[in-house]
Amino acid sequence: MFNQASETAEDFNNTYKYVKEKPIYVTESRSFIADALPEGEVVQIALPTNPAFAAAFAGAGGGGAKEEQQENFAVAKVWIEDGCIVCNACEDIYPEVFEVLEDTCIIRPEAPLNDGLRILEAAEACPVEVIKFDKA
């Protein structure tokens, strides 16, 4: 259909006196950079990482009660259920046990299962919660 056209749009408009104004659209410009802070007294957020409030958080020890250190344990079996999104979190934590492939994760053959705390850490770090294990 287009290859059969014999004149341009401008020729058509001139022949048939077809003139139509094109609408002008105004695009609002936006910036993701915050405006400068006003001079004078500025309100600050009280965060432990803000040096201005370091004294207020002193002795807080990270904001929570101290957890008792968990004793390490052995694992009898560890497996990966369907649904792995290959995020590499488990392999980053315990590469001796977990191997991330192109589309899933596997447990390495002859993987050491004596460090249950690292396997637990990998299972808790898994965003889709597909790492499962049984304690020995």
Residues 56-102 pLDDT 10s: 777 666 555 556 678 899 999 999 999 999 998 999 999 999 999 99
Within a domain: residue 11?
no
**How large is the average pLDDT for residues 23-43?**
77
Tell me the sheet residues that pair with 75: 135
For the record, the structure tokens of 130 come out as 């597909």
Distance CA(2)–CA(4), nearest Å, equals: 5
Within a domain: residue 26?
no
CATH number for the domain that contains residue 94: 3.30.70.20
Tell me which residue range forms the domain holding 114.
75-135
Within a domain: residue 79?
yes
Nearest by Cα to 123 from 83, 101, 93: 93
Tell me whether residue 94 is exposed, middle or buried, using C-beta atoms within 10 angstroms of its C-beta: 0 to 12, 13 to 18, 19 or more. buried
Within a domain: residue 87?
yes
Within a domain: residue 115?
yes
DSSP state of 44: -
Within a domain: residue 59?
no
For residue 19, pLDDT over 60 is answered with: yes
CB 90 within 8 A of CB 127: no
Give the up-direction half-sphere exposure of residue 53: CA atoms within 13 A in the CB hemisphere: 10
Nearest by Cα to 134 from 123, 125, 3: 123
DSSP state of 77: E
In 27-115, where does DSSP find H-type helix? 89-93
Question: Sign (positive/negative) of CA torsion 94, 97, 99, 103?
Answer: negative
pTM over 0.95: no
Within a domain: residue 47?
no
Please tell me the predicted confidence (pLDDT) of residue 61.
60
- How many domains in the chain? 1
DSSP state of 29: P
Q: Compare 133 and 1 and report the one with higher pLDDT.
A: 133
Within a domain: residue 41?
no
